[in-house]
Amino acid sequence: MNRQVIQSEENKIGLNANALKLIAIVAMTIDHLTWTFMPGFDQAALPVLLHCIGRMTAPIMFFFIAEGYHYTKNLGRYVKRMFLFAILSHFAYALCFGGTFIPFQNGMIFSQTSIIWSLMWGLVALAVAKSEHPRMTKAVKWLLVIGCVLISLPADWSAAAPMAILLVGLNRGDFKKQMLGIFIPVALYAAGYAIFFDVTYGLVQLAVVLSFPFLYAYNGRLGKWKGMKWLFYIYYPLHMTILGLIRIFWLN
């Protein structure tokens, strides 16, 4: 029996899913506010520190996409919901960060859409890897998982997101392997970030480790308030839309 389940059965000590998702929301808001009011790869201590805090968000997202797969009663509906969320969030992401509504129009390959796109394909990759369908041979699974990773490349957190979700889901019950499954893809992502964008901010990505103690405290419980899932679905595109409007009409 895995550690999370043991904790959830024996006691309520620790952080439930709602608390962890709230931490992710706060860290994400700090990160996006910093990008809005201190744009670019500012090397000053304050923005670097704030962006390090913001790196706590993605690992919590990765973790709970994998948890969501484990607990969902309708995988198809879960994937469809993520797809619609990814489409909606794409426009908010472009507005917030000054991107283009039509991907690749700016000649860039990376950061063309939000992390929700890569999270969705991470969910699909995990479902493929866990599939017991007789036609899902190992070769087919490998090809489909590679496809999920490649199609995630243009999104925020790029291929790191589906790889991390896959490794977290496949190692459910072994916390150390789960965290290693997050860190290794992020380390690769950090190297790419340093090469294509900025060395300092490449190293900033490694601050994902700040989330590990909080994830370790996860007690396996959802939390009393059932609306947290929908709060995140609403808050993510809404706050980026507001920040995008601030950037356009106030800061420019």
Q: Is residue 7 over pLDDT 50?
A: no
CA distance 239 to 67: 25
161 neighbors 150 (Cβ within 8 angstroms): no
Annotated domain spans of the chain: 3-251
- Which one, of 116, 66, 68, lies nearest residue 235 by Cα? 116
Q: Would the pTM of this model clear 0.85, i.e. be above it?
A: yes
243 neighbors 96 (Cβ within 8 angstroms): yes
Q: What is the 3-state secondary structure (H, E, C) of the chain?
A: CCHHHHHHHHCCCCECHHHHHHHHHHHHHHHHHHHHHCCCCCCCHHHHHHHHHHCCHHHHHHHHHHHHHHHCCCHHHHHHHHHHHHHHHHHHHHHHHCCCCCCCCCCCCCCCECHHHHHHHHHHHHHHHHCCCCCCCHHHHHHHHHHHHHHHCCECCCCHHHHHHHHHHHCCCCHHHHHHHHHHHHHHHHHHHHHHCCHHHHHHHHHHHHHHHHHHCECCCCCCCCCHHHHHHHHHHHHHHHHHHHHHHHHC
85 neighbors 68 (Cβ within 8 angstroms): no
Only one residue has tokens 């459910």, namely: 172
Mean pLDDT of all residues in 14-25: 97
pLDDT tens column, 78-91: 999 999 999 999 99
Amino acid sitting at position 240: M
- Which one, of 217, 200, 234, 211, lies nearest residue 56 by Cα? 211
Task: Give backbone dihedrals phi and psi of 34, rounded to 5 degrees, phi first.
Answer: -65, -45
112 neighbors 99 (Cβ within 8 angstroms): yes
pLDDT tens column, 171-194: 999 999 999 999 999 999 999 999
Confidence bin at 4 (pLDDT 50/70/90): very low
Confidence bin at 1 (pLDDT 50/70/90): very low
pLDDT tens column, 34-76: 999 999 999 999 999 999 999 999 999 999 999 999 999 999 9
- Which one, of 210, 192, 194, lies nearest residue 202 by Cα? 194
Q: Is residue 12 over pLDDT 70?
A: no
